[in-house]
Amino acid sequence: MPRQIFVCATPGEGRCGAKGGGELFERFREEVVRLGLSPSAVLRNACTRRHEEGPVVFVFPDDVWYTRVTPEDVPGIVEKHLARQTRVES
């Protein structure tokens, strides 16, 4: 089953969108294309109710959550988790 990254980008004060989730979504899309993966591997997610850990990213079907994700984290998550199917350790 192909893996997909769900990026929370819900707008609103204190939510992932206000913490850079929208920019992360775009950055993930750019990175998958750069590596020759399908842009459909990255989707916007509805609010995960994990505001204090945001922005959050969820990898399906692996049930892996990445929290407090920064733009600098994106290449590693895409390359290791999507391309090589290895969880990124924090």
User: Tens-of-pLDDT digits for all 90 residues of the chain?
Assistant: 688 999 999 999 989 999 999 999 999 999 999 999 888 899 999 888 998 999 999 999 989 999 999 999 999 999 888 766 666 665
* Structural domain spans, the chain: 4-83
Distance CA 78, CA 71 (A): 12
Q: Please tell me the pTM assigned to this model.
A: 0.87
Alpha-carbon dihedral angle through residues 12, 13, 19, 22, given to the nearest 10 degrees: 10
Q: Check residue 86 and give its pLDDT.
A: 63
Class of domain 4-83: alpha beta
